[in-house]
């Protein structure tokens, strides 16, 4: 399940606009999120209703040739009476099935009063370059926050290229400062 999420995340990472244009709903029956989050004003963001994907945001292009944008994907899975420990173990188990996954750090954290796990890792995403139909390796670094709240498990996945990650980590952390669950 998580491997599929990572593949979908990679696809969204490059081709998000295609999926998002169909998922964005601006009618009166707009998708309602059960959390609050604020991204920088120049980022594009969408509430999603696509399997377990509930929110997606991406940074603006830094230059005309910038084809891989830094992003945030929030997923939500029903876990019933599952705990943060058991949900996090399941998240890790899925990630570890990908041979390109490499954990950097894993620590317990608290964000706005909510206990979570904070995971930083490297991963190679395989993309198809549309112009030539060649496979391209995209080397990424991700910061994941994993929560369990009211019978649901949430994963907030921030992803950037390995060479742009350090510049975006403060942005990712700033976004997390705004994250709260609605009561």
Q: What is the pLDDT of residues 1-33, one digit of tens each?
A: 444 444 444 444 444 433 444 444 444 357 889
Q: CA angle at residue 173 from 100 to 179, to 5 degrees?
A: 105
148 touches 83 (CB < 8 A): yes
> Angle CA(110)–CA(116)–CA(118) in degrees, nearest 5?
95
Q: Compute the residue count for the chain.
A: 183
List the domain boundaries for the chain. 2-181
The whole-angstrom separation of Cα 79 and Cα 104 is: 26
Taking residue 161's Cβ as centre, other Cβ atoms within 10 Å add up to 16
What local confidence, expressed as pLDDT, does residue 26 receive? 43
Class for domain 2-181, per CATH? alpha beta
> Element (H or E) spanning 110, and its range?
strand 102-111
Contact 142, 161 (CB under 8 A): no
Three-state DSSP state, 93:
helix
**Cβ contacts of residue 49 below 8 Å, gap of 6+?**
23, 25, 31
91 closest CA partner among 145, 139, 47, 133: 145
**Which residue positions in the chain have pLDDT lower than 50?**
1-28
DSSP state of 161: E
Question: For the chain, what is the mean pLDDT?
Answer: 85
Alpha carbon of 140 to those of 48, 101, 143: distances in Å? 23, 10, 10
């Amino acid at each position: 399940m998580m491997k599929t999420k990572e593949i979908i995340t990679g696809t969204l990472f490059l081709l998000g606009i295609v999926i998002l244009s169909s998922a964005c709903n601006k009618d009166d029956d707009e998708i309602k999120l059960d959390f609050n989050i604020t991204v920088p004003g120049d980022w594009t963001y969408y509430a999603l209703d696509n399997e377990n994907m509930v929110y997606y945001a991406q940074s603006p292009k830094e230059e005309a040739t910038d084809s891989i944008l830094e992003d945030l994907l929030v997923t939500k899975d029903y876990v019933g009476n599952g705990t943060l420990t058991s949900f996090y173990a399941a998240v890790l188990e899925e990630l570890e099935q990908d041979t390109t996954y490499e954990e950097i750090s894993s620590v317990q954290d608290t964000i706005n009063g909510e206990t979570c796990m904070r995971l930083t890792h490297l991963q190679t995403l395989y993309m198809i370059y549309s112009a030539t139909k060649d496979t391209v390796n995209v080397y990424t670094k991700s910061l994941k926050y994993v929560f369990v709240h009211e019978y649901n498990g949430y994963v907030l996945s921030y992803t950037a290229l390995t060479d742009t990650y350090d510049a975006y980590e403060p942005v990712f952390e700033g976004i997390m400062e705004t994250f709260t669950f609605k009561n």
